Structure 1
Amino acid sequence: MFARRIVVVGTGYVGLTTGACLASLGHRVVCSDVNAEKVAQLSRGEVRIHEPGLAELVQEGIAAGRLEFVLGSAGAVADAEVVFLCVPTPMGSGGGADLAVVESVAREVREVLPAGCVLVTKSTVPVGTSARLRELVGRPDVAVVSNPEFLREGSAVHDFLNPDRIVVGSDSQDAAERVAALYARLGAPTVLTDAASAEMVKYAANCFLATKLSYVNAIAELCERLGADITDVTEGMGYDRRIGQAFLQPGPGWGGSCLPKDTAALLQVAEAVEFDFPLLQATISANARQRERMVAKVVDACGGSLDGVRLGLLGLTFKAGTDDLRDSPALEVARLLAARGAELVAFDPGLRGDEPGLPLTLVDDPYQAAKGAAALVLLTEWQEFRTLDWARVAQELEAPVVVDTRNHLDPDALRRAGLSWRGVGRTPVG
């Protein structure tokens, strides 16, 4: 494999992981960002993103001379062979993806891209974006390629270096093959297709996962009404190879930086071509209902009212292993609880305590969260919550009730500590 000169524009979760991992594969990578302080920190090997293994890869890349960080993108791309766009595409008005940053970067670099350079969209973008960028750049000597990412926060480095597949799409076969070759050392199955199909793969995959989660949450509610156990039901389902074990865990709803905006974006894309997509709409509606259902569980556990009731919360990030609060179902449940009049005290091992706008008080350990609370509510599945001293938790709580919205805890361990456990899709214990 030939080492390539690569520029990565944007140093968020996707951009920084992409740059550091490509450098670890032997390429020479320059990562650009518009935040001068962030560039300075990264140049010193300081990584503020909570992502296992990422800081080490950044430091190794800098030490080896294969990874550097610069301010601004126009100067960085002057001798690039491949330029990756890894910039935000947040949910815009109407639910569609906001491409303002993508298009702004394209305008900024279009005159300075070297002839023969390949411009790659790594950010999640709607179908047709590659065609739009080709028109915007207006350079027949610069190919545009779609190369969607499939990285999970908390395991992004592992996912990049151990991919299920590499998807590359372009109307230029040569450009697509050049981008695919960047990953040759990984030995992953590679899908070479047109740009529109590559863009569609990311949305189709994420919306399928969201649908799977909404489905299992509905089955969990049905289990509660029928006296079945969702844990046994999903185990029986998961052994079917057509279904698989992944994304069969019920919870307070799905969230994060991808699924909410991708489901909304695909729904808007469907509407734009006059395609009725009731299945996806139902998936989104069921997710909103699931959060309300978790609130109802807490209300019931506290005797029917939360007005002035103190609640302890375990976890606020959208999933364990991250510090990301974007579209967190845990945080949304917390907001709904606060709207019902509850006084919230929370602990999350991924948060620093300086996050703005939280409807609660953050404390330094889970026992402080439990102190004087009418119930303890687990919202994020951090592994350390499983090994708490539950006898001590029982002493701290005002009432011996734990609502486990992730089915993450051992009900028998809580029962032995004198606590009542209430989960999702399962019979209460204690």
Structure 2
Amino acid sequence: MNLCVIGTGYVGLVSGVCFAELGNKVICVDIEEEKIRNLNNGIMPIYESDLEDICNRNRQEGRIEFTTSLEHGVKNSEIIFIAVGTPSLPNGQADLSAVEAVATDIAKYMNGYKIIVNKSTVPVGTQKWVTQIIKDNQRQKHDFDVVSNPEFLREGTAVYDTMNTDRVVIGSVSHKASKIMTELHEPFNAPVIITDPESAEMIKYAANAFLATKITFINEIANICEKVGADVKEVAKGIGLDRRISNRFLEPGVGYGGACFPKDTKAIVKIGEKVGYDFEVVKSVIRVNEKQKLRPFKKLEKALGTIEGKRVGILGLSFKPNTDDMREAPSIDIICAIQNAGGTVKAYDPIAMDGAQNILRNVEYANTPYDAVKDVDAVILVTEWKEFEQLDLKRVKDLVKGNIFIDGRNVFNYTEMKKLGFEYYCIGRRDDEYYKHYLKEVAITALENH
């Protein structure tokens, strides 16, 4: 099929590349001339595993092209995907200005029947709104259908998630559009849910709000575990084996970030408010997550006594591993808190340092993780990159000036870190040596009472 994808961010670029990989002819459109120029030269605007190789191969084989001409994309396509950004407005609502602008231009350039697909995450009712925009702005009257087709990819594994999706959701009131969209997605070999547009739009928000809630729940459990001597890893394992719960998204840490969960949780709260409903659960999730981002800072503050004049090494800047995305990254909150308390920061990330420099000020960026920890008073691991899991911890201990190590992702073993001489803090885990001693004392007491 002939497709047009408008927007070459994570969703648009990955979707376009994957559709081309399946044999479709794809035109990707973006208003940023430099981005399009780079894409035509094989340079990706985002870091995503396998994306560059697949994209360049399909470009060379003529299945995908990149242009700034929306008119060219619309006129030469049967299906047009809107995959532009919908960031949060100051009040938490989704900003639909880019969607409105694109829909208006699509209407002007239509030259026959088109299926316009909302791929961006948009509030309930957007399908009807886009339909009206196109009707109002058509220069010539052509039949069209507007469909909701939300994405469910994860940054860092976006190509894999797209090619191995566990479901396809198609929100449409048109049998014709539903049939064509089903045919387009057949090669994915995934269950297809055909529903009304409102339900399709809500499915995306509900999924992200639920996952954000699950992450926040296990973080709350971790915080309680620290106070009662339990180990959150054991707790997560125990509840994750319950098929009703599963073990996915039960890794405690420093809170969620990125482009989706923060804005989508805020947006679904606003959707509720618009119809007079107070979504208390998700409101609490948002509030708790903001506090969780600063948990490593609070541990640092307690361990050092004062942060004034202290130097802190930060390992990991992106909001999660395998991506360079700095949007809503917990590292931003942690670094700003350290600087506001009078401390200085050295930081290292395998991919995200260029992006971080556009956001953070007065940060010293290191060339290696070992450079980042040299002569610092404390270390905070924020992002669980594989590179950090393989660190020579003895070398790290020899390089640091202080001995405080705050592991925001529970990457390392408590006992081993203690043996190396670190004052080690993690999220919701206990000191295993202390616990063994505790069990021994319990056993002795039980024998004496017996």
TM bucket (normalised to shorter chain) is over 0.9
**Alpha carbons 1:117, 1:141 under 8 Å: kept:** yes
For 2:421 and 2:217, locate their aligned partners in 1 and report how far apart those are by CA, in whole Å: 33
Aligned equivalent of 1:344:
345
The offset of 1:79, in angstroms, is 2.5
Counterpart CA distance in 1 for 2:180 and 2:92 is: 34
What does 1:238-253 align with in structure 2 at a 5 Å threshold? 238-253=240-255
Task: Pick from 186, 189, 193 the counterpart of residue 188 of structure 2.
Answer: 186
Q: Measure how far apart 1:140 and its partner are.
A: 6.6
Identity of aligned residues (%): 40
- Residue 306 of structure 1 corresponds to 307
What are the within-5 Å matches in structure 2 for residues 11-410 of structure 1?
11-138=8-135, 141-302=143-304, 304-353=305-354, 355-359=357-361, 360-410=363-413
**Alpha-carbon separation, structure 1, partners of 2:111 and 2:234:** 58
**Count of residues paired in the alignment:** 426
Q: Aligned pair in 2 of structure 1 residues 418, 93: CA closer, same or farther (>3 Å)?
A: closer
Post-superposition offset of 1:151: 0.8
Q: Which has the larger radius of gyration?
A: 2
Q: Is the 8 A contact 1:120 1:146 kept in 2?
A: yes
Query: Per-residue deviation at 1:174?
Result: 1.8
Matches of 2:359 and 2:21 in 1, distance apart? 38
Q: Is the 8 A contact 1:170 1:194 kept in 2?
A: yes
Q: Within 1, Cα distance between the matches of 2:142 and 2:41? A: 38
**Contact conserved, 2:148 with 2:197, CA < 8 A, in 1?**
yes
Following superposition, the deviation at residue 362 of structure 1 comes to: 1.2
How far has the Cα of 1:396 moved from its partner? 1.2
Distance 1:240 1:173 in 2: 39
What is the CA-CA distance between 1:367 and the residue it aligns to? 1.4
Could you tell me which runs of 5 or more consecutive residues in structure 1 were left unpaired when the two chains were aligned. none
2:85 aligned counterpart, secondary structure:
coil
Contact conserved, 1:126 with 1:265, CA < 8 A, in 2? yes
Amino acid in the other structure paired with 1:176 = S
- Length-normalised TM-score, structure 2: 0.92
Does the CA contact (< 8 Å) of 1:386 and 1:410 recur in 2?
no
Alpha-carbon distance in 1 for matches of 2:382, 2:294: 13
Deviates more, 1:56-65 or 1:353-362: 353-362
In the TM superposition, residue 21 of structure 1 has moved relative to its aligned partner by 0.3
State the SS of the aligned residue for 1:224. Answer: helix
Q: 2:420 aligns with which of 417, 425, 430?
A: 417
Alignment deviations for residues 276-306 of structure 1 (CA, whole Å, 9 cap, x no partner): 111111111111121233221111121x211
Measure the CA separation in 1 of the matches of 2:432 and 2:229: 13
**1:50–1:323 CA contact under 8 A, matched in 2:** yes
In the TM superposition, residue 409 of structure 1 has moved relative to its aligned partner by: 1.8
Is contact 1:17–1:54 with CA below 8 Å preserved after alignment?
yes
Cα offsets for 1:176-234 (capped at 9, x unmatched): 22112211011101110011100000000000011111111110011111110000000
Q: Which amino acid aligns with 1:18?
A: S
Contact kept? 2:384, 2:409, Cα under 8 Å: yes
AA of the residue aligned to 2:314: L
Q: 1:141: how far off?
A: 0.8
Distance 2:350 2:226 in 1: 31
- SS class of match (2:294): helix
Structure 1 position 352, deviation (Å): 4.2
CA–CA distance in 2 between the matches of 1:77 and 1:108?
9
CA distance in 1, matches of 2:423, 2:386: 20
Mean CA deviation greater in 284-293 or 235-244: 284-293
Does the 8 A contact of 2:296 with 2:380 survive in 1?
no
What are the superposed Cα offsets for residues 290-327 of structure 1, whole Å, 9 maximum, x if unpaired?
Answer: 1233221111121x211111111100110001111000
- Write out per-residue CA displacement over residues 23-58 of structure 1, whole angstroms, 9 at most, x where no aligned residue: 001100010111112112111222131100100111
C-alpha displacement at 1:350, in angstroms?
1.2
Give the Cα–Cα distance (whole angstroms) in 1 for the partners of residues 171 and 142 of structure 2: 17
Letter in 2 for 1:259: F
Q: Which moved more, 1:408-417 or 1:58-67?
A: 408-417
1:91 and 1:97 in contact (8 A); partners too: yes
**Aligned-CA RMSD value:** 1.4
